[in-house]
Amino acid sequence: MSYEPKVVAFLCNWCSYAGADLAGVGRLQYPPNVRVVRVPCSGRINPLFIFSALRNGADGILTSGCHPGDCHYVSGNYVARRKFALLKSMLNYMGVEEDRVNFTWVSAAEGGRFADVVSKVSERVKEIGPPKGVFKKAD
79 binds another protein (CB under 8 A): yes
User: Considering only residues 44, 81, 112, 130, which one is a binding residue for another protein as defined by CB under 8 A?
Assistant: 81
Distance CA(36)–CA(30), nearest Å, equals 13
Whole-Å CA distances, 134 to 42, 87, 96, 106: 26, 16, 8, 30
Show the binding pattern over residues 48-77: x = contacts another protein (CB under 8 A), - = does not. Answer: x--xx--x------------xx-----x--
- What gap in Å lies between CA 103 and CA 90, rounded to an integer? 14
- Smallest distance from another protein to CB 95, Å: 3
CB of 37 to another protein, least distance (A): 13
CA distance 102 to 125: 10
Query: Is 84 a binder of another protein (CB under 8 A)?
Result: yes
Q: What is the CA radius of gyration of the chain?
A: 14
Residues that bind another protein (CB under 8 A): 47-48, 51-52, 55, 68-69, 75, 78-79, 81-90, 92-97, 99, 102-105, 116-117, 120-121, 132-135, 139
